[in-house]
Amino acid sequence: LQRCMEQFVDSAEYILCTDMDSFWGRQEVEQIVSIALATQADALAPIQVKREDGRPMFTLPGTLDKPPGGSTELNMEWFGEVVQEVDSAHFGCTLISTRALKRTPKPWFQDHPGADGRYESGRIDADIWFWRQFRKAGNRVYITPRVTIGHGEWVAVWPGKDLRTPVFQYVGEYTEKGKPKTAWSVGQS
């Protein structure tokens, strides 16, 4: 992603980063561009949720390096604003100012394993590294609650016990638990 961004950092005002598993259309992009121009955002992302989870993919200010325990609740007024500053966002359909990129120290993307050398607990993913570098340069990251985009998920579809009703299962659940008990199987009662 850094190599691609570097190709355009000197010839464009903004770079639109997208993921192959994100669902958005022209209307969402037009809204993001309009809001970014009106607010002079260094980076602006719509609301997108995590796969198999449903939680929005952003971190509130002050929580990227010190995540709160449990859950966080936001009042409805928070969602009524055009933009909200956050510590990190996603790259599903995110507009980034090239002026801000030029201020950002490189490498822009780098992942680090946890203290045990594994990419489990304590790791730093490349996208989180990017947002830390971006904010360290004095850039501001925003979410717009006015725009939402979809996030593709892989699901397994099993024949139901009646062979008419499909049974849907997230891939993560299959990996953890195996075939669902509500799926068709020979010798079922």
> What is the share, in percent, of the chain residues with pLDDT greater than 70?
97
DSSP count for the chain of H helices, then E strands: 6, 9
For residues 154 and 162, the answer to whether their CB atoms sit within 8 Å is: no
- Quick one: pLDDT at residue 70? 65
pTM, 2 dp: 0.88
Pair of tokens at residue 121: 């607990």
- Comparing 30 with 67, which gets the higher pLDDT? 30
Q: Work out the average pLDDT over 81-88.
A: 97
158 has a pLDDT exceeding 70? yes
pLDDT band at 28 (very low <50, low <70, confident <90, very high): very high
pLDDT band at 189 (very low <50, low <70, confident <90, very high): low
- Quick one: pLDDT at residue 93? 98
Q: Work out the average pLDDT over 141-161.
A: 96
- Which DSSP letter does residue 107 get? P
Cβ neighbours for 94, distance < 8 A, ≥ 6 positions apart: 16, 17, 18, 43, 44, 45
For residues 147 and 31, the answer to whether their CB atoms sit within 8 Å is: yes
- Quick one: pLDDT at residue 4? 96
- 3 state DSSP class of 183: strand
64 has a pLDDT exceeding 90? no
- Comparing 53 with 157, which gets the higher pLDDT? 157
- Give the N- to C-terminal CA distance of the chain in Å, as an integer: 53
Sheet holding 84-86, edge to edge: 14-18, 93-97, 43-47, 141-148, 84-86
Which residues on neighbouring strands pair with residue 150, listed in sequence order? 23
- 3 state DSSP class of 170: strand
How much is the mean pLDDT over the chain? 94
